[in-house]
């Protein structure tokens, strides 16, 4: 804990005099080490179409495009590397061919790309910093990539050998602490073709041969992705690493997307009234990938937060909600009808009539924005992904 963090904690616990308050006001603002890059979204959407910009108080106000964050900014260094000017991370421009998880670490250790020798396999939070949600996909077919292809080479799956276009996932160094599909060791990756985080089996379930994926090496800012939480003692949590303040406890009620936006916009908490629904990258920043219901009997979030426990669809306890973001996810025949959620509980799917953790706690997918609550949960797609529609909210604001 830094001196500033300790001082703030002492003040929260013991209170302070007027002179002490003046001292705190004069302290320097903490330097953020985990700058979140904006999603790139500029369009506004209702439940089914593009719409004009809503004004404050109107339906769908407060969605992603309402608030501007750190605009993506990259520098092509001309040597096969790309610098992210927001995060301080330097990236490999071209990933090469698919390799195994173990081969990726060997590649990073031996790489001298750009004259540097400190390359590493990125964590999931580092890798997710590159996603943008101006991408679009039609099921298995790519329309626009979820990564800036002006700077980064992003392949598609090789359809000539039976792959789908979306079979071009990029793995991270973050292994799931639980197991997926009932018994698979799993590695988290970002799919920049379809705009999702999933856990992927480390070994082929049938042959036990190591699976191969793409890897994009990174270097620099080793503090990126590390949170620095402080409980403010007033129902809020500050993350000094990102400069964001969070609602400590969700309100325990599932909502559709429009209701989630309205709830966050109208929230007054700890005398602040500028709360909002977080975008996809903001909400993913507080996932704790060292935790899962399987291994810690908890949600994938730091225990400094409070989270509602819900039942699995079969009525058993120990499950945790999916949480809405303000970000629309462009997929399918009606690309404007779904929004991004982050699963702080298991990423459930039903396969052959069996409910499984198919994607891992901490995955990112999307749900329909609206629907009759009595019709859900439903199951969709080849892995029977569960759809709740009535997801939960953890509001955020930017620290002044």
Q: Name the domain boundary from 202, 219, 236.
A: 219
Residues 6+ apart with CB under 8 A from 208: none
Tell me the backbone φ, ψ of residue 88, rounded to 5 degrees.
80, 10
In a domain, 260, yes or no: yes
Same domain as 182, residue 66: no
Same domain as 209, residue 233: no
Same domain as 197, residue 251: no
Average pLDDT score over residue span 265-274: 98
Find, among 217, 215, 212, 237, the residue nearest to 227 by Cα: 237
Tell me, yes or no, if the pTM score tops 0.85: yes
Same domain as 373, residue 230: yes
Residue 165 in this model has a pLDDT that exceeds 50: yes
Domain housing 54: 47-70+223-398
Decide: 165 and 155 in contact? Cβ < 8 Å.
Answer: no
If one counts the domains in the chain, the total is: 2
Q: Name the domain boundary from 219, 246, 274.
A: 219
Q: Name the domain boundary from 219, 249, 276.
A: 219
Mean of all residue pLDDT scores within the chain:
93
In a domain, 19, yes or no: no
Please, which residues bridge with residue 351 across strands? 354
Query: Model confidence at 5, in pLDDT bands (50, 70, 90)?
Result: very low
Place of tokens 């080849």: 382
Buried b (16+ CB within 10 A) or exposed e, 100-117: bbeebeebbeebebbeee
In a domain, 323, yes or no: yes
Decide: 397 and 275 in contact? Cβ < 8 Å.
Answer: yes
Over residues 130-157, the pLDDT tens digits come to 999 999 999 999 999 999 999 999 999 9
Over residues 16-63, the pLDDT tens digits come to 333 333 333 333 345 799 999 999 999 999 999 999 999 999 999 999
Share of the chain above pLDDT 70, in %: 92
Decide: 309 and 194 in contact? Cβ < 8 Å.
Answer: no
Give the CATH number of the domain where residue 213 resides: 3.10.100
| pLDDT score for 24 | 32
Same domain as 204, residue 248: no
The CB-side HSE value for 98 (13 A sphere, CA atoms) comes to 14
Over residues 291-335, the pLDDT tens digits come to 999 999 999 999 999 999 999 999 999 999 999 999 999 999 999
């Amino acid at each position: 804990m830094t001196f500033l963090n300790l001082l703030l904690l002492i003040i929260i616990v013991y209170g302070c005099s007027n002179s002490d308050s003046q001292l705190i006001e004069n302290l320097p603002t903490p330097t953020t080490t985990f700058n979140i890059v904006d999603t790139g979204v500029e369009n506004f959407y209702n439940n089914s179409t593009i719409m004009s910009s809503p004004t404050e108080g109107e339906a769908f106000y407060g969605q992603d495009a309402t608030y501007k964050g750190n605009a993506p900014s990259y520098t092509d260094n001309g040597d096969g590397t790309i610098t992210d000017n927001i995060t301080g991370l330097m990236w490999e421009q071209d990933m090469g061919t698919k390799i195994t998880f173990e081969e990726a670490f060997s590649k990073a250790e031996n790489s001298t790309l750009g004259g540097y020798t400190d390359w590493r396999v990125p964590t999931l939070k580092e890798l997710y910093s590159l996603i943008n949600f101006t991408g679009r996909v039609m099921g298995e077919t790519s329309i626009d990539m979820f990564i800036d292809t002006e700077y980064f080479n992003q392949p598609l799956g090789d359809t000539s050998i039976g792959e789908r276009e979306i079979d071009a996932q990029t793995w991270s160094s973050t292994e799931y602490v639980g197991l997926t599909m009932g018994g698979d060791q799993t590695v988290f990756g970002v799919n920049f073709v379809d705009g999702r985080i999933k856990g992927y089996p480390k070994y082929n379930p049938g042959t036990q041969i190591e699976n191969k994926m793409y890897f994009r090496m990174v270097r620099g800012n080793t503090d990126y992705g590390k949170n620095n939480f402080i409980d403010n003692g007033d129902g809020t949590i500050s993350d000094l690493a990102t400069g964001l303040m969070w609602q400590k406890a969700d309100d325990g009620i599932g909502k559709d997307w429009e209701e989630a936006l309205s709830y966050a916009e109208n929230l007054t908490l700890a005398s602040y009234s500028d709360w909002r629904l977080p975008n996809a990258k903001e909400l993913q920043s507080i996932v704790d990938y060292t935790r899962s219901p399987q291994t810690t009997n908890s949600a994938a979030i730091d225990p400094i937060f409070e989270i509602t426990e819900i039942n699995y669809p079969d009525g058993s306890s120990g499950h945790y909600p999916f949480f809405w973001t303000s970000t629309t996810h462009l997929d399918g025949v009606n690309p404007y009808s779904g929004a991004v959620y982050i699963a702080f509980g298991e990423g459930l799917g039903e396969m052959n009539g069996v409910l499984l953790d198919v994607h891992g706690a901490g995955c990112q997918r999307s749900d329909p924005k609206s629907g009759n609550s009595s019709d859900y949960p439903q199951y969709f797609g080849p892995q029977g992904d569960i759809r709740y529609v009535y997801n939960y909210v953890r509001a955020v604001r930017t620290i002044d």
